[in-house]
Amino acid sequence: MPNIKVTDDLGSWMGLRPEMAPGLIGLSEAVYSKSLLPRRVQEIARMRIALANECAVCLGARYAQPAADGLDEAFYAQVLNWRDAPGYSARERLAAEYAERFALDHVGLRADADFWQRFRQHYSEAEIVDLAICCSLWLGAGRTMRVLDVGQSCSLTLGS
């Protein structure tokens, strides 16, 4: 049951602030349609943040045609154990590490010179900014929906 008086769905809560909703919607559209990152890189980061947020709708969200990008359920099942799970590339592991630390230890992440050296070996400056913007959306929107307890039983299909 939502912590605010709205219909328990994915978007009605934004109707309480219609002047602000377009900003969140625009950011979401940019993340899902303008990102430079491969979908597997995005998804491992998104899911790592979804786990940190404990957001049920985010944890259950999947793409309409996941097989084209190698996004089977084994991919998702192993995200929590990204360090040791087989099948993830170096870039995917770095994205998971970045997202995890973005959500749980942003100050430590900022100051970790060793991480940034490893990260820059696999990501361009533009890709780093891209991932940061993506993580901002997932962390902020996911936590908002979890705290307000809206849409947690809803199903979300991501873009094609």
- CATH code, domain with 127: 1.20.1290.10
What's the total number of domains in the chain? 1
CA-based nearest residue to 140, from 7, 130, 148: 148
Residue 6 resides in a domain: no
pLDDT one-digit tens code per residue, 24-42 = 999 999 999 999 999 999 9
Q: How far apart are CA 7 and CA 108, in angstroms?
A: 39
Could you give the angle at the alpha carbon of 77 between the alpha carbons of 115 and 40, nearest 5°?
55
Residue with tokens 């050296």: 117
- pLDDT of amino acid 69: 79
SS (H, E, C) 120-160: HHHCCHHHHHHHHHHHHHHHHHHHHHHHHCCCCCCCCEECC
Residue 5 resides in a domain: no
Residue 74 resides in a domain: yes
Residue 44 resides in a domain: yes
Domain around 78: 20-158
pLDDT one-digit tens code per residue, 27-83 = 999 999 999 999 999 999 999 999 999 988 889 888 877 776 788 889 999 999 999
- pLDDT of amino acid 65: 75
